[in-house]
């Protein structure tokens, strides 16, 4: 797939899935602004891209603030003359059950994931509208945002909001030929080692052991490199009509996530009392309640 002549920003791309995204875009011909809070890992990713014949620059900043987003867009314009692609991948975890989660735990995750996605996308869309040549916004959602996950109040809330961003911005940006989609990645990175039950899988992957079919197919989980092709596709001409979608990829599993919708309804002339709702709930609207939680982490209910 050919992305020659295009310029991208990938936030949080010094390591993990973000690094895989940056390398894959560069391999497809895209010039990339590599962003991270760690200067060494950002420059290491830039070096890897250049050694493979690609074009990249590093911009070291923490996403969240408007000023950081504007710096990233400016880095692309100053280095490559334009911005075609914004990938809002940067993220952190501060996992705690709700009764142990501090204000700082909550605010830090919301600032990086939710506000960082908003400010970076806003800055990118403003530039793309000025250029009037279309563009790609790819945000990063998660299983936790789609299903909920134990101990991840802050992260799940942020990622659910990011999925809603994609649906909203797809409508707002359509006139300017800017597509907006959310990737729901499922990859083994150091970030997921804090999730209960995942340390053993992470350790095996670190040792370079092949992942069993149960992990790659049933859990739909693989390496960061397994996820990156979806980003390249969404940034290509082949995906010019794909927008407003939440698309999952991990291991051997590619998936399209549904959007929230009414699945069961009931009507009563004149409205409802609480007693009337209780009467019909078990045999009508509430007869088949929705599950929640991530099945392969033992959290499905």
Residue numbers of the domain that contains 221: 7-256
Query: Number of folded domains in the chain?
Result: 2
First to last CA, the chain: 40
Pair 83, 220 in one domain: yes
Q: Any idea what the CATH number is for the domain that residue 197 is in?
A: 3.40.50.720
Which letter does DSSP use for residue 15 in this model? S
pTM of the entire predicted model: 0.94
Catalytic residue among 21, 155, 267, 292: 155
Is 155 annotated in the active site? yes
Tell me, what's the pLDDT at 195? Answer: 63
Separation CA 19–CA 125 (nearest Å): 23
**Mean pLDDT per 10-residue section of the chain, whose length is 301 residues:** 97 96 98 98 98 98 98 98 98 96 98 98 98 98 95 97 98 98 88 67 79 84 94 98 98 96 96 97 96 77 57
Whether residue 2 lies inside any domain: the answer is no
Determine the distance from the C-alpha atom of residue 141 to the mean position of all C-alpha atoms in its chain, rounded to a whole number. 4
Q: Ramachandran region of residue 135, left (φ > 0), alpha (ψ -120 to 50) or beta?
A: left
Percent helix, strand, coil in the chain, to 5, is 50, 15, 35
Whether residue 1 lies inside any domain: the answer is no
Pair 158, 220 in one domain: yes
Asked if 89 and 23 count as a contact pair (C-beta separation under 8 A), the reply is no
Pair 277, 145 in one domain: no
Pair 104, 209 in one domain: yes
Separation CA 23–CA 239 (nearest Å): 20
Pair 246, 293 in one domain: no
Asked if 6 and 84 count as a contact pair (C-beta separation under 8 A), the reply is yes
Nearby residues of 35 by Cβ (< 8 Å), 6 or more positions away = 9, 10, 11, 12, 13, 14, 42, 58, 59, 60, 61, 63, 72, 90
Pair 275, 194 in one domain: no
- Of 239, 256, 273, the position where a domain reaches its end is 256
């Amino acid at each position: 797939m050919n992305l020659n002549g295009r310029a991208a920003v990938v936030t949080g791309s010094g390591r993990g899935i973000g690094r895989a995204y940056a390398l894959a875009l560069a391999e497809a011909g895209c010039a990339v602004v590599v962003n991270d809070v760690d200067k060494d890992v950002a420059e290491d990713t830039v070096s890897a891209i250049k050694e493979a014949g690609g074009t990249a620059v590093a911009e070291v900043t923490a996403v969240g603030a408007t000023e950081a987003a504007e710096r990233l867009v400016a880095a692309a314009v100053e280095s490559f003359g334009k911005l075609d692609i914004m990938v809002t991948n940067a993220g952190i975890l501060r996992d705690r059950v709700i009764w142990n989660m501090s204000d700082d735990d909550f605010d830090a995750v919301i600032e990086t994931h939710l506000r960082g996605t908003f400010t970076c996308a806003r800055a990118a869309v403003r530039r793309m509208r000025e250029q009037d040549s279309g563009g790609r916004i790819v945000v990063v959602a998660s299983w936790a945002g789609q299903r909920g996950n134990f101990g991840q109040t802050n992260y799940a809330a942020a990622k659910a909001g990011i999925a809603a961003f994609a649906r909203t911005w797809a409508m707002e940006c359509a006139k300017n030929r800017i597509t907006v989609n959310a990737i729901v990645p499922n990859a083994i990175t150091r970030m997921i080692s804090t999730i209960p039950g995942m340390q053993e899988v992470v350790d095996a992957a670190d040792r370079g052991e092949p992942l069993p079919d149960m992990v790659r197919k049933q859990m739909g989980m693989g390496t960061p490199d397994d996820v990156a092709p979806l980003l390249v596709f969404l940034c290509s001409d082949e995906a010019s009509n794909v927008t407003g979608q939440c698309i999952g990829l991990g291991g051997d599993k590619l998936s399209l996530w549904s959007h929230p919708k009414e699945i069961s309804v009931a009507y009563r002339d004149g409205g409802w009392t609480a007693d009337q709702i209780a009467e019909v709930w078990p045999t009508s609207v509430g007869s088949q309640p929705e599950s929640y939680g991530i099945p392969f982490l033992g959290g499905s209910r």
